[in-house]
Structure 1
């Protein structure tokens, strides 16, 4: 009897972000939020 196994693997990293997210999120564009943050260290 053949067996099919599928799934995914996720990895989380805790990073240092020395600013406030509210300084980078534009309230008038919250409905199309797309963020990327530079973190100097992990």
Structure 2
């Protein structure tokens, strides 16, 4: 019981971690795209 709960928490943590990382990367990427559009 406790071990399965720990596995669920670990999985949720990794999912949340990668989601935050991905959202930050998307924001930076869209910012770079906007800068590129502004130059040209």
Instruction: Judging by fraction of residues, say which structure has more helix.
Output: 2
> Whose RCO is larger (CA < 8 A, sep 6+)?
1
> What TM bracket, shorter-length normalisation?
under 0.3
TM-score after normalising by structure 2 = 0.21
